[in-house]
Structure 1
Amino acid sequence: MPFFKKKKKENETKTVQQQEVKKEHLSEQIEEYLTKLESTESEDQIHIFNMLGSLYFEMEDHDNAIKYYEKSIDQNKTLGKVFTDLIKLYNIKRKEATKEGDREAVQVYLQKSDDLMKLTKDTIRGNM
């Protein structure tokens, strides 16, 4: 029995180390894209905003992910991963606000979700 407990603890330690390495790698990528953003023309910024949103989402930094995805959508209202991820992020933030009992934040994220769904419909219809 002790052998299995030791193995389980080793696996947990290995997993934590892998997660730390992954976060470090993601942080490095974020820094690279932030540097690129400073010297990029507005047309090319959309790709960088999308990448930053994805990287922050993967790091579970939801506020920054939302920030960069919203910037991307402000410049380019093309359907895709950005819209999908942003809806997921709004739902995550709404659930967090619900758990905290923050009715105002719940309403903010419900409204953001509704606005994004309307934008999605308008984009599909070609009403942009």
Structure 2
Amino acid sequence: MPFFKRKKQEQQPKTEEQQTVKKEHLLEEIETYQNRLANGDNEDSVPLFNMLGSLYFELEDYDQAIHFYEQSIEQKKAIGKAFTDLVKLYNVKRKQASNAKDHQAVQYYLQKSDELMKLTKDSIRENM
């Protein structure tokens, strides 16, 4: 009988209304960041790309999340959130393709993962 073991709090599933409110909030945030990106207010667009990637990831719009994270990495090849989330996203997309028995898409996302790993290694070598 473990003394210090905590009981996990069971999370209640969100109601449809709560999910709708959250989605609307995320869409508002996306619009704000896209406007900032379009206005060119920031010289460094990497944080904006990362935020848009994160928001789309949370919305489960994986294609858009991938698009913005790839834009971020194209601007600045630094290991960080874009790298880690892209690994997750490529795996999600590969799994979806596998479930759909789309072998071409599976290969595509395997190749994207390999390219990302190579970029990670190159980035680490440059910083040594």
TM-score range, shorter chain: 0.7 to 0.9
Structure with greater proportional helix content: 1
% identity of equivalent residues: 62
Q: Which residue of 1 is the match for residue 27 of structure 2?
A: 27
What runs of 5+ residues in structure 1 fail to find an aligned partner?
Answer: 1-10
Aligned 1:108-119 pairs, distance under 5 A: 108-119=108-119
What runs of 5+ residues in structure 2 fail to find an aligned partner?
Answer: 1-11
CA RMSD of aligned residues (A): 1.6
Q: Aligned partner of 1:89: which letter?
A: L
TM-score (norm 2): 0.85
Change beyond 3 A, Cα 1:42–1:77 = farther
| 1-structure distance, mates of 2:61, 2:103 | 22
For residue 43 of structure 1, report the CA deviation from its aligned partner. Answer: 3.6
For residue 41 of structure 1, report the CA deviation from its aligned partner. Answer: 5.9
Q: Aligned partner of 2:29: which letter?
A: Q
| 2-structure distance, mates of 1:74, 1:60 | 22
For residue 40 of structure 1, report the CA deviation from its aligned partner. Answer: 1.3
Aligned 1:49-68 pairs, distance under 5 A: 49-68=49-68
Q: Which residue of 2 is the match for residue 124 of structure 1?
A: 124
Q: Aligned partner of 2:77: which letter?
A: K
TM-score (norm 1): 0.85
| 1-structure distance, mates of 2:107, 2:44 | 33
Aligned 1:1-128 pairs, distance under 5 A: 15-40=15-40, 43-126=43-126
For residue 47 of structure 1, report the CA deviation from its aligned partner. Answer: 1.0
| 2-structure distance, mates of 1:41, 1:104 | 40
| 1-structure distance, mates of 2:42, 2:74 | 12
For residue 44 of structure 1, report the CA deviation from its aligned partner. Answer: 2.0
